[in-house]
Structure 1
Amino acid sequence: MAVALLCVALPALWLSPANAAAPKPEARQQVGQAAAQVLTWTADNSMTAYKDTPTTAVAGPATIVFENSMATGSTFGMTHTLTFDTSTPGYNHDVNVNIIASPYDADGGRHEVQVNLTPGKYRFFCAIPGHQMVGELVVTPGGPTDTTAPQVSANVSGEKDADGNYVGSATVTVSATDTESGVDRVEYALDSGAFTTYSAPVSVNQVGSHTVQYRATDKAGNVSAVASVSFKVVAPPAKDTTAPQVSAQVSGDKDANGNYVGSATVTISASDSESGVDTVEYSLDSQPFALYSKALTVDQPGAHRVSYRATDKAGNTSAVASVTFTVVVPPAKDTTAPQVSAQVSGDKDASGNYVGSATVTVSATDTESGVDKVEYALDGAAFTTYSAPVAVNKTGSHTVQYRATDKAGNTSAVASVTFTVVAPPAKDTTAPQVSAQVSGDKDADGNYVGSATVTISATDTESGVDTIEYSLDGQPFGLYSAPVAVKQPGAHTVSYRATDKAGNASDVASVSFKVAAPEQKDTTPPLVSAQVSGDKDADGNYVGSATVTVSASDSESGVDRVEYALDGGAFTTYSAPVSVNTAGSHTVQYRATDKAGNVSPVGSVTFKVVAPPAKDTTAPQVSAQVSGDKDTNGNYVGSATVTISASDSESGVDKVEYSLDSQPFAVYSKALTVDQPGAHRVSYRATDKAGNTSAVASVTFTVVVPPAKDTTAPQVSANVSGTKDADGNYVGSATVTISASDTESGVDKVEYALDGAAFAAYSAPVSVNKTGSHTVQYRATDKAGNTSPVGSVTFKVVAPEQKDTTAPQVSAQLGGSMDWAWNYVGSATLTISATDAESGVATVEYSLDGQPFALYSKPVAVGQPGAHTVSYRATDKAGNTSNVGTAKFTVVAAPGSDCTKPGKGKGCKDA
């Protein structure tokens, strides 16, 4: 069907500004993917017709291209509008498009929008200044037929042994995709059985070799080719009854006394050659055991003990072991720059020049705060971060400058090394010869007992061997520098290769062997300790008698016997706590022997027993205190807590009793909480160990109902401030300010965490001056215990740049509707743009017709008819100001009009 174009002459015209933007997102019909068909409307300089207009289309996704550009012949600069009708009966109304295009807009007059067309007719308007054309687009059903079978694959998962067999069972997961009609069904067949519908992963636990065939069918009936996957299931090994091996290593900076300065890091390692390690746990300073997932940093000054244990997947738990260490406060601030040096290495000729390449290795040390970064500059280039030796292979003379900065911000003086690189002789194309030898003690089965040592040798008769690398059990290749000792029990494979100085690498070779665990002998004596208990007087002496309890443990062969000696007597077997009731000073020595015959060092405890005092006839002193939140009437809100205290300077307090609201007396063991609303009386008394009971005393108070419970977490936000560069990075430092509010119970605390560290209390804005990307997480908790979700802000800090002495670049662009004499009709809009590649633009200013300069913040519209001159300038953040530019133009009055039809601009009306 041919499109009908109705040309209507209009007495007045209105043009969108020359820099009109593309249609807003809400004016576009969005679809999920790029459309296959493209419908193009193209304008040139004709006042009565469009160069290209579509008349038919196929239902489905489509790209609408509306172009009014210099490239299509629109040289007059007129503004055009494409609008789809969404109200006239008899047409489809599901595409809402309204595009304004000008050769001078931000897109050069070419605009695209994705739509989804449905069968039927669409009516559209093409508005040209002074004219309007109306057309129809006929959409027919359509779409390609799916003739492509689905894509289908299978994956086998489960625990594997060293031979790649699945232990106990294997799970087969089949996946299928079809990008056209979609997958209808997936089928599988196990070990030549009949095909059956696949609905969930298939578990195969029958021991033996298996093959799973699979296929998929799409909704168009296309069936994929049958594929298959083969595997083997083996019976699981015998039950694991051996606990894991576990050890701990303490690291950190030490002082001369062996104490850790500032902090100590405890790294726990565990291995289990049977079922494998399941969990590792640790306890810091006798706190409850917690799950270990990464190295533990301890920065609290003082002596510490970290206990640790491991459990394997069979449930076996190792004996608890521990490490002890002391953390001390770090010394005073570091004001000394690091020591830094450089070494040039490589093959030299007879003149001392480096053949082919030279490698510069920079080393830095700092005995106080430690090295933070090392930088280098090659041949006068800018300094860059040094992370690995620098290879220089360009022939000629070179100079490398270098410097180091410590963690306190002190930077060393710049030093340099100079050398010459010359071209290498003829290229070596032959790879090195490489071999490996395994050595160690073997058992009767040929396994290495305890450990095996792999020695790798390489030779190269031309350029010489450069590097030897090896990989243990499939790990990434690493540099070989000395024989490799392998101690982990089990089967191992070491792969190896060598590279010569000409870059030729040998083929990868490998050697396989097995390491068996040695039997370990117990050479450690038991741990033994003693505890003295009994009633003490004010001087710490035991009144009447003392009881000595001896405890021993041995985590290897076990405790065989414990012995003790009283006051220098002979050692005798300890079987129960020893009671000493003779008045005087006493010493009890003790020791323990394990089942391997190891005897602990002799320990001892010294104490004094005194005769009991005369009979106590005085009752205890007793008092009570009521605490809690009070209202303005002195009543306790929600609950009141009664704390009873008693003392007896002779025999001591035996028990304290209380009665709530005249109920029977009960033994008092902890503070009493009363939350029942109303008036209350708590009576109380105390009895000493001699049976004396105090007179009954009491306290009275009233509990009232609390207001509604606060269940709403605080509101919390963070703001990053500082000086930014043109990329939005913070120059030198950034300050993070966190704000929290809670209208109910009130904010209790605010916390933050910098770059994944532990959360810490927030008390003031946080300044971050280390260069790099950073993330600050934050949260707040109110007085009712509600904690907000964790929020975060991410930003980047960059080093400050050198001072900017260059003024900004500034330009101006005029836009608006023009008549045939190039005057602006109705108004002209001046858009000023400024850039500064160094410190960034600070301000842009303009002056209209000689008036004082004013701050420019958005495009300036000039509607006063007549000739105009606009002067403009820009200043950057370093204070540099550009030269003044000017733009001259003329504005003429626009005729009055009204526009109501779709696609017409405001200012046009029908003839």
Structure 2
Amino acid sequence: MLVPQSMPALASVPAEPAADQVLTWTAGNSTEAYTTAPAQAVAGPTTIVFENSEATGNTTDMSHTLTFDRSTPGYNHDVDVNILAYPDDGSNGRHTAEVTLTPGKYRYFCAIPGHPLMVGEFTVTDDGDDTTPPTVTAAVSGPQNPDGHYLGQATVTVTAADAQSGVASVEYELDDTGFKPYTAPVVVSAIGDHTVQYRATDHDGNVSPTGSKGFRVVERPEDTTPPTVTAAVTGEQDADGNYLDTARVTVTATDAESGVKTVEYQLDGGTWTPYQAPVDVNTPGMHMLHYRATDQAGNVSPEGMAHFTVVEQDSVPPVVTAAVSGTQDANGNYVDKATVAVTATDAGSGVASVEYQLDGGAWTAYTAPIEVATNGAHSVAYRATDAAGNVSAVGTATFTVVPSDGDSTPPTVSGWLTGNQNARWEFVDRATLNATATDAGGIRSIEYALDGGPWTPYTAPVVITAAGTHTVKVRATDNAGNIAPELSGTFTIVKTTAKQLRPAHQPLH
């Protein structure tokens, strides 16, 4: 929780603390750590004191908070402390709060923006006797030769823990020279065999058994060979090899002689940065990551480069439209030619391709407006694909091209019925409707209507089998939009009889 600097202090310091146990935190000019903070406490009523004043080193009137964490798993969340203090806050930067602590760990931090490193924890134990000593371990690290000896130097790290009263102190002894307080990892560079002994004491005075680590430091051989360093880029990719949303770069370095000391990387010409974990790059665009490694002897590898492109995940297809242009006659037909312009846009990964299909032909890449000069009815289908592979729905533009000399003459249309008829000129079982039309400017369509129904495109002979009397009409339209006079006829279909049948050809009039 971020606390505004204008927030009033939660409590003023009383004349006398109300609890037997007093825990004090202080802060100064640093934004990276409290000046002082407790590490241990016992359960029970406690006075919390937080001072951020000139007396504790704050000479800039900087605000800090003492805020107890009430959400992170693994810590006690039963105490609500959120104190804002600064030297001129009306209480001279010193404030208190009365709380009751329970056994466990509490985490605290400064909630002022820009102070994320001001964080810590303290352990609370039961107010009972602790007879269990701390546990303490040690680890030796550093570059080693094949025999396991340390090259040039070894670093000893001691770790201690105590679940009850907490660790009060840690000590170490190097090569029987006497125990000393352990405050940081111990670097041993003297050539030869060494022994480090270590122990810890808790707040109730229990001392751990003394542990021991033996190791050998040997001369570091002369090393003139730089490390070998490589990088691998991973992540989900599209068909063009671009990384969707995020690309992860993993850098690996090895050195067979003195060992790798540092690995660094530089992204898009920025500053060189220590490499500690795979680098996730999620900014859309092209990227270049340089990398290098240095060994313990100071040899630096040649710079390597990893080039890749990140694009945003895109599941939305492009938007594509078409417009037909040209000179039109009174019927809306295009005279001599029509031009079809297709436009596609994509707000995500961008348009990769546009295609069109003229009059049911093959799909063709669209690179410029399409000119159609053939007389007759036409259709242009169109679609677009974006860089993520999403394909738009197919759109269609339909139009008719007519010659420039004009055409007011309707087409000539013919229609007739065929089938077997009986002596009463009735069609037996079925009748077949046939139609054809001609026009100098081309036929746009032939249509028929059966028994007063809708006009239906005629594309092939139509077989009629329903018994009874029927009416049928036929018409044709040319490419200029002229419609021929309708032809019509009436006929009857009956079911098969034993009477003699004869073939029939019955024209419509």
With the length of structure 2 as denominator, give the TM-score of the two structures: 0.35
**Higher RCO by CA contacts (8 Å cutoff, separation 6 or greater):** 2
If you compute each CA radius of gyration, which structure gives the higher value, 1 or 2?
A: 2
With the length of structure 1 as denominator, give the TM-score of the two structures: 0.21
